Each structure stands twice: as C-alpha cells, then as structure tokens.
Amino acid sequence: MCMTQEINMGGERRFKLSCHSKRQCNAIMGSSGLSFTFCMDCCDSNKCNNQLCSTAPTTTMLLTTTTIKPTQRPYISTNHSSITTRWGTKLKIFCYGHNVEQVKMQKRIGSLHLAGHMRTIAHNLHIYKMNSETAGKYTCTAHNYFGSTSTEYIIQYIPPETTTASATTLATTTAFMIPPMITLPQKLVIPEGKPSSVVACQVQGFPTPTVTWDTFDHKFPSNVQIHGPFLIIHNAGVYDSNTYFCKATNPAGTDIKFVHVIVNHTVKPTTLRPHIPPVISSTQIVEVRYGSSVTLNCNATGYPEPQITWHAHHKTIHQKTLQISNATFDDNALYLCIAINDAGQTQANTVVSVTGDAPQITVPPSSAVKHSGEIQSFLCEATGNPQPTITWSYTSYLHTSSRDSHTMPSHVTSSDGGRIQLTHIHDSGILKCTATNPYGTVSAHANILMSNRNDLVVGR
C-alpha cells in the first residue's frame, strides 16, 4: 500500500511517503499521536498519491478491522474544535471515533461523511474551498449499542478584505467547545481513623463541565460528603473502602473515571511483611434446591487482610458470606465477589443454579359409574418441587360439537385443586387431572360412565 502522511511540525506542513503492507497500514492508521498528524491516506492504485494530501483520492482505502462488539460508551478525539481560516483555502479535519460501531459527520442537515462498521475509525472532513457556504457548525457523532457521543466544530473564515488585526481578533473570539477530561488517581489508601481525606476530581473542558460522584450501589456512607468536584471522607473506617466514580458532563461530551479507596487498619505489624495482593477461593457453580437456603463464601488471602464485598442484584454487601434463603428462580444469577487491599484487587464469579423436581401424580383419579343427579368426588394428588399446580378437564364421548365435547361440567374444586366434585353431568366421558410446575407437566385420567337407575348391570 502507498502511505501518505501530512504532519504539523512547528507550524510547517511536511509530508512523509512510504510503502507498507495492508496490515502495517492498518496499524499506523490506528496509532496514537493524533494531535500532530493531519492526514493519513492508504491507497493501492496507480499514482494514487501523486497529489499528497491536498485532495482525497478516489481510490483511498477505507481500512477495516475484525468486527468487535464494543463494551462501553464511545468517545471521540479530534485535532480541532474551533478553526478560523482564510477565504478560498483548503482545510481537513479529523474525527476519530473510539469503541464504536458507526461514526458520521454532519453539517446542519444532510450527511457529509459516513463510514462502515469498525472498532476505531478515522474520518476526514475535506473542505476544498472555504467560503460562506462551507463555514458553519459541524457535528461528529459516534454510535454504538451503549449510546452516542457528539463533538461540535465551529469553522469560520476571514473575508478577503479583513485586515490582519481584525483577523486576529476574530480568531481569538471564535466560539468553541472542549469535551470534559478528568484527572483522577486510580487508587487512594487512607489510614483508619484519619479525620478528613479529600479526593479531588480535576476536570478540564469548555463550557465548564458539571461534576457528580457515584458508587456501584448509588449509596454513600453517612461520613462521606460530596462538595462539587471533591469527595470528602470524615473519620475513615474500613467500610468506607469502595469504588467511587467521578462523572463530568458538558454539551461537548462526558468523561467518567473511578478511584479505589482503601482504608487500612491503623494497627502496625510487629515485623515488616511484604504486601501481597488478594487471592480468592470460592466455588464457581453452586446448586440449591428450590425453597432451600444456601450460603456463598468468598475466602481471600493476602496482606494486609483484604476487604470483601459481594455484588448481586444491584446491591453491595460488605461481608465474606452471602446468605440466600428460600431460593426461587429469581435467585438464578451471577454473583461477584471482590477482594481488595493496598497491594491490589481480585474478583471471582459464582453462578447460583436453583434446581427442582418435575411433577409426579401419586394418587390418580378413579374411574366410576355415575347415575344422573348424583354428586361424586374425585381425588388427584401430585408431588414435585416446587409443588405442582393441579387443573382439571373433561372430554365427552358424545362428540356433538367440538365446543361441547371439551366443556367442563358444573363442578366445585378444593382450594389446592386436588379434589373435584362433579355436580351436574349428563354425558359419559374422560376426566383428566394435570399437574404442572416449571420443571414439567404430567397427567392422569379416569373414565366416567353415565347410567340410568333402571338400567340392568350384568356381571359377576
């Protein structure tokens, strides 16, 4: 592939021409240093790079990567946010979408640039002649499953008659926006009992971003205070150890960073020992019978002694064991155990599987000969875990119509459904009881023969 790069070196435009394999070209296009590079084009047709980066060659290859589903909200990096240039000049702007499925750049109404699906995409906006129609507000938007992120560009021009002094004033007063950028330590170790500890979420961006703090379970201990960009922990205790999130937002975008706060015991060891990251010992799969109880244990070794937390069903529990009582199918879930000390953090997953038994009918209904007008009871008992639900149905031998043949005669059932009384029945037929629970369905039936009182029954 032919590679052409335009680089800004101390205000000078320089070009670098080279040859690379397709794989190398793809790697270079995805490399860092975006603030210094203004153009990267790869092409493979004859004389496709003869005009350097001054125009977009029609044979420019749109590099692709293996489709990878993104795992978090996209973010955008660019080489400009506000530009003022002279009338009639050429201009190129880059919009890099990271962790995305789609990126597009738009001006007012109508798409100017749209590329296919890839994980990291570099988009070039070429303006070949700056004038009143090409100036204005441009928006670059990155999309993926988790949402969208947008960045706006303000592009203005200096008319031909504008003096140097007025051009300088115009360039310095041009409106622009800068997405938030958070500076925050990833880990903070606090001795137990320290009167006051302050975590500062330092944010850059324009307009001034709004800063908020949060946790996994959206709860803060009573001794933790939020004051603007500052997280203040008073009289730190071991249960203040947690992961705290700082979120900064302005019209240009959003940035999120987290800090692991670790509160250490103040008791000093009598001898010096090396600090060891946590190692968790737990069961990966736990089976529990429906309606029973089970205890999940998260044992962790390390020095200092790790702090243990369980995360399940959007809740955080600060203890080594997690009790599940009267298990139901809602307890089928993935439970996360996190062990943390000042030497590191480890996590382990435990899958809880709630098991049960399919229904079995232990006492089926008995067949009977019934005289018109008699009331007779039928019993159907079943076992299973959870306890099955019993329902009844009746099918007449006299198929007078499809609706009547399956009509249930007048009846009364017990509260648990296991006993039924037929009060008004006219046709012989089949009485069926059905036992059902989430693990299966089973049925049993009895034949009911209708007889007049004057009928002669012959037999032994």
Query: What percent of the chain is modeled with pLDDT above 90?
Result: 23
CA angle 257, 250, 109 (to 5 degrees): 125
Cα 154 to Cα 136: distance, rounded to the nearest angstrom = 6
Res. 174: pLDDT tops 50: no
pLDDT for position 18 = 82
- Listed residue (63, 181, 136, 28) closest to 125, CA to CA: 136
348 versus 313: the higher-pLDDT residue is 348
39 versus 193: the higher-pLDDT residue is 193
Specify whether domain 2-176 bears CATH 1.10.260.40: no
Residues 6 or more apart in contact with residue 32 via CB below 8 angstroms = none
Cα 276 to Cα 267: distance, rounded to the nearest angstrom = 17
pLDDT band of 170, cuts 50, 70, 90: very low
For residue 1, the number of C-alpha atoms closer than 13 Å in the C-beta half-sphere is 22
Res. 426: pLDDT tops 90: no
Residues 6 or more apart in contact with residue 418 via CB below 8 angstroms = 379, 380, 381, 382, 390
Report how many helices (DSSP H) and strands (DSSP E) the chain contains, helices first.
2, 38
Cα 214 to Cα 219: distance, rounded to the nearest angstrom = 8
pLDDT in tens, 149-167: 777 777 776 766 544 444 4
| Cis ω before 274 (30° cut-off from 0) | no
263 versus 75: the higher-pLDDT residue is 263
Res. 168: pLDDT tops 50: no
**Which residues on adjacent β-strands are paired with residue 133?**
none
Q: What is the mean pLDDT of residues 311-337?
A: 88
pLDDT for position 35 = 36
Taking the CB of residue 326, how many other CB atoms lie within 10 A of it? 9
pLDDT for position 103 = 55
Task: Please give the CATH superfamily to which domain 276-355 belongs.
Answer: Immunoglobulins (2.60.40.10)
Cα 271 to Cα 459: distance, rounded to the nearest angstrom = 98
Q: What is the mean pLDDT of residues 138-144?
A: 75
> Lowest mean pLDDT: which of 95-104, 198-207, 256-265, 299-308?
95-104
The matching CATH number, chosen from 2.60.40.10, 3.40.50.1980, 2.40.50.180, 3.30.1280.10, for 181-264 is: 2.60.40.10
Question: What is the location of CATH 2.60.40.10 in the chain?
Answer: 2-176, 181-264, 276-355, 357-451
Asked if residue 240 lies in contact with residue 221, where contact means CB atoms within 8 angstroms, the answer is: yes
Classify burial at 138, counting beta carbons within 10 Å of its beta carbon; exposed 0-12, middle 13-18, buried 19 or more.
Answer: buried
Cα 301 to Cα 336: distance, rounded to the nearest angstrom = 17
pLDDT band of 309, cuts 50, 70, 90: very high
90 versus 243: the higher-pLDDT residue is 243
Most confident region among 76-85, 113-122, 178-187 by mean pLDDT? 178-187
Classify burial at 410, counting beta carbons within 10 Å of its beta carbon; exposed 0-12, middle 13-18, buried 19 or more.
Answer: exposed
Res. 443: pLDDT tops 90: yes
Taking the CB of residue 213, how many other CB atoms lie within 10 A of it? 19
pLDDT for position 247 = 92
pLDDT in tens, 214-242: 988 888 888 898 988 999 998 888 888 88
Cα 397 to Cα 334: distance, rounded to the nearest angstrom = 52
100 versus 247: the higher-pLDDT residue is 247
- Listed residue (101, 166, 124, 105) closest to 29, CA to CA: 124
Q: Which two tokens stand for residue 74?
A: 């996209």
pLDDT band of 201, cuts 50, 70, 90: very high
pTM of the entire predicted model: 0.36
pLDDT for position 419 = 92
pLDDT band of 460, cuts 50, 70, 90: very low
- Listed residue (395, 381, 460, 459) closest to 429, CA to CA: 395
pLDDT in tens, 46-73: 777 777 764 433 333 333 333 445 556 6
Q: What is the mean pLDDT of residues 377-387?
A: 92
Task: Name the average pLDDT for the chain.
Answer: 76
Res. 455: pLDDT tops 70: no
Residues 6 or more apart in contact with residue 415 via CB below 8 angstroms = none
pLDDT for position 379 = 93
Query: What percent of the chain is modeled with pLDDT above 70?
Result: 70
Classify burial at 330, counting beta carbons within 10 Å of its beta carbon; exposed 0-12, middle 13-18, buried 19 or more.
Answer: exposed
Res. 186: pLDDT tops 80: yes
43 versus 418: the higher-pLDDT residue is 418
pLDDT for position 100 = 63
Res. 364: pLDDT tops 50: yes
Q: What is the mean pLDDT of residues 285-298?
A: 91
Q: Which CATH architecture has domain 357-451?
A: Sandwich (2.60)
Place of tokens 């909200």: 73
Q: What is the mean pLDDT of residues 446-458?
A: 68
